[in-house]
Amino acid sequence: MFTILDLVQPDNLAEAYQILSDKQNNTILGGCAFLKMGKKRINKGIDLTNLNLSYIQEKDGFIEIGAMTSLRELETHPLVKEYYNGVLPKSVRDIIGVQFRNGVTVGASVYSKYGFSDLITALLSLDTEVELFKAGRMPLVDFLARPKEKDLLVRLWIKKTMRQATYLSFRNSASDYSVLNVAVSTLDNRWTIAVGARPSRAAIAVSASAMLSQDVLTSEKIEKVAQRASEEISFGTNTRGTATYRKALCKALVKRGIMEVLA
């Protein structure tokens, strides 16, 4: 269990960031589910409750999601359910249970760049940007590639389009981490295939996505694209599955994902 020596509730983002920067072990608190699993000794726990960051709204052609929004809110919000075939609710609905998802936050889930993340894979298949207090706004794919820096994730911006998408994951048992997860989306015949829980951080299968965007899709072509995705993405082994198993799963899930989006 972690220890918090002092709890602070800043009234604005600048103050929160200042406290975060003041000392190495000053730490932002999301829902604390992940922090609780560790033994970190936190000097100042920074609670963002007063910053009104728990919301989902439309703004300037984007869906804006505040960092303190819970995964359950993401799962049930009408706007998020309506867009992208509900790919975001789909991606989080198998994470533990409703009570758990009521507590854990979108900001922590994305900021932490967990390899096993279901949400990051789904977000990666959409036109998602991350807004950090210090580093500013950038595409999610760039954020994931950056070395980890102390910052405060403020909100996500997802371009509001008619993108069609789906999300699939394979778990050894209900509520366990995914052995592998895949999100597939298309907009104006430009496809994106994202693969996560490899078990490392989610990545886009760039070559397979481009191949899919090229010409008419036949079942033979889809088979080839799925094969390409499984070859270009690297996989590792952990207690949940071997690299070879994940590679085979990738091919099956990508193929199923494309068929689902086409349907």
Ligand X SMILES: Cc1cc2nc3c(=O)[nH]c(=O)nc-3n(C[C@H](O)[C@H](O)[C@H](O)COP(=O)(O)OP(=O)(O)OC[C@H]3O[C@@H](n4cnc5c(N)ncnc54)[C@H](O)[C@@H]3O)c2cc1C
Nearer to ligand X, 48 or 208 (CB): 48
- DSSP 3-state of 222: helix
**Tokens in use for 117?**
């993340």
Q: Is 118 in the site for ligand X (CB under 6 A)?
A: yes
Residues 15-54 that bind ligand X (CB under 6 A): 27-35, 37
Binder to ligand X among 63, 74, 126, 153 (CB under 6 A)? Answer: 153
Choice from 88, 108, 183, 229 touching ligand X (CB under 6 A): 108
Q: For 123-161, give one letter per residue: b (16+ CB within 10 A) or e.
A: bbbbbbbbbbbeeeeeebbebbeeeeeebbbbbbbbebe
CB of 190 to ligand X, least distance (A): 26
111 forms part of the interface with ligand X (CB under 6 A): yes
CB of 34 to ligand X, least distance (A): 3
- How many chain residues bind ligand X (CB under 6 A)? 28
- Encoded one letter per residue, x for contact with ligand X by CB under 6 A and - for no contact, window 193-232 reads ----------------------------------------
Q: How far is the CB of 225 from ligand X (least distance, A)?
A: 26
Query: Smallest distance, Å, CB 224 to ligand X?
Result: 30
SS3 86: helix
In 151-242, which residue ranges form alpha helices assigned H by DSSP?
A: 206-214, 219-232
Distance CA 101, CA 73 (A): 8
The CB-of-192 to ligand X minimum distance in angstroms stands at 19
Helix H or strand E encompassing 245: helix 243-262
Q: Which of 202/254 has CB closer to ligand X?
A: 202
Closest CA to 35 of 71, 67, 4: 4
* CB of residue 232 to ligand X, shortest distance in Å: 23
Residue 242, SS3 per DSSP: coil
Q: Does 95 bind ligand X (CB under 6 A)?
A: yes
The three-state secondary structure class of 196 is strand
140 makes contact with ligand X (CB under 6 A): no
**Secondary structure (DSSP) of 136-151:** EEEEHHHHHHSPP---
Q: Interface with ligand X by CB under 6 A: which residues?
A: 27-35, 37, 67, 71, 95-96, 104-105, 107-109, 111-112, 116-119, 152-153, 177
